[in-house]
Amino acid sequence: MAKQASSQTVDLLRRFYESFNQRDIDAVLEVCSEQVEVYKDPEVVDMVASSTPRGQDHVAQYLRGWLDSWTDYNARPQEFVQSGDEVAVLVRLHARGRGSRFDIEEDMADLFTIEDGRIKVLRLYMRPEDALGAVA
């Protein structure tokens, strides 16, 4: 049953977003498991990686490539919903693609699997309801 995430989990994920928004990938990896994995929504056009990044080195490379494709990228967590080890985070995204004159302001969501106090899996969702459905 989904419920509000614990304060310890919220703190962990806020550190993730703060570090990511500052483009500090080393700090992002500090809150991740050695074998962290990143899965993207099939609707996300990805020019960074054709396969699922696994392990800190590949995830770091993926995240750096992702951030390099944006001149501005700020994901602001709005709500944390937890069910067991899974946590859906509803996110308000403000971004501008490299070379674009237009800003993006969008509601999205991320789904995290937390194991031993660290992020084991990150799944990116275009639609918040998809992430919420995974923790329902």
Query: What is 3-135's CATH number?
Result: 3.10.450.50
Which residues lie across from 97 on neighbouring strands? 70
List the domain boundaries for the chain. Answer: 3-135
Return the structure tokens found at 78: 């709005």
Dihedral angle, C-alpha 97, 122, 89, 94, nearest 10 °: -10
Q: pLDDT by residue (tens digit) across 3-25?
A: 777 889 999 999 999 999 999 99
Specify the length of the chain in residues: 136
Over the stretch 89-100, which tens digit does the pLDDT of each residue have?
999 999 988 888
